[in-house]
Amino acid sequence: MSVLRIASTSDPGSAAGALANSFREEGRAELQAIGPRAVNQAVKCIAVARGYLASSGVDLYFVPSFVEVDMSGETRTGIRFMVRSRTPVPALRPRRRADTPRQSPEPDAPTAEAWQDI
């Protein structure tokens, strides 16, 4: 399972799009954030993603835990958010640009390069 790293500068809407896509692909997702502002963005991201996935019958929740992360040789404590659904996840597929209507409230997911490392 891929881990989405949320930075303090991550846009919650874009991150929520990436989270929703990851969830559609794998039926679950995981976020990691280090520092108060990144944790705040991660929580907002999940709140927004709940709205994105609600119409598919997905009822997101998350389980937080502490995680030790190595950053350039220095160990820092961050938060890991395991994201799951309270309802059975229907067979979903990632939303591609081609089948996203122009007026969709869900922004395109950022590319991997757009993600800032923790």
Provide φ and ψ at 36, rounded to 5°: -55, -45
Between 8 and 110, CB nearer to its own copies: 8
Between 54 and 114, CB nearer to its own copies: 54
Minimum Å gap between C-beta 88 and its own copies is 14
Minimum Å gap between C-beta 83 and its own copies is 10
Residues engaged in binding its own copies (CB under 8 A): 35-37, 39-40, 43-44, 46-47, 50, 59-66, 79, 84, 86
Rounded CA separation 66/51 (Å): 26
Residue type, 6: I
Which of 66, 67, 83 is CA-nearest to residue 19? Answer: 83
